[in-house]
């Protein structure tokens, strides 16, 4: 949590010069729901989400937006350790009946980075197929 805050502090003036700065955090659904086996990770992601919401209010007049994307289970290397049965069981919990794709998260990122998204700030967009 500390590193992104320190980076943003150094970059805030540069982002404001552009008249449409964008800060987009990649959070997690666990920041909203928590996870029994990922309590520290969940707490970190919850803190990141609240920081983004608060910081968005501080820099809105500088034309900087701050948002968070909260992915659910995405089919990436991070989840490659799941066995076939574990993955099947996870997919059964997701209403969309599949794991997300990296492109699902990339699409939302591009949307938030677009110049026409300047009125969206302090928000968290969940990309989880209805899981959380």
Residues known to be catalytic:
41
Burial of 130 (0-12, 13-18, 19+ CB in 10 A): exposed
Contact 37, 81 (CB under 8 A): no
Residues 74-107 as b/e (b if ≥16 CB within 10 A, e otherwise) read: bbeeeeeeeeeeebeeebeebeeeebbeeebbee
């Amino acid at each position: 949590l500390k590193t992104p805050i320190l980076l943003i502090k150094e970059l805030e003036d540069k982002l404001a010069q552009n008249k449409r700065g964008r800060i987009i955090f990649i959070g997690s659904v666990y920041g909203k729901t928590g996870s029994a086996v990922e309590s520290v990770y969940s707490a970190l992601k919850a803190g990141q989400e609240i920081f983004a919401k608060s910081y968005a209010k501080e820099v809105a007049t500088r034309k900087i937006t701050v948002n968070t994307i909260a992915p659910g289970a995405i089919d990436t290397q991070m989840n490659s350790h799941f066995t076939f049965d574990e993955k099947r069981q996870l997919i059964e919990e997701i209403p969309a009946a599949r794991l997300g794709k990296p492109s699902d998260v990339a699409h939302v990122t591009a949307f938030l980075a677009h110049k026409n998204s300047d009125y969206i700030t302090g928000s968290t967009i969940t990309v989880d197929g209805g899981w959380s």
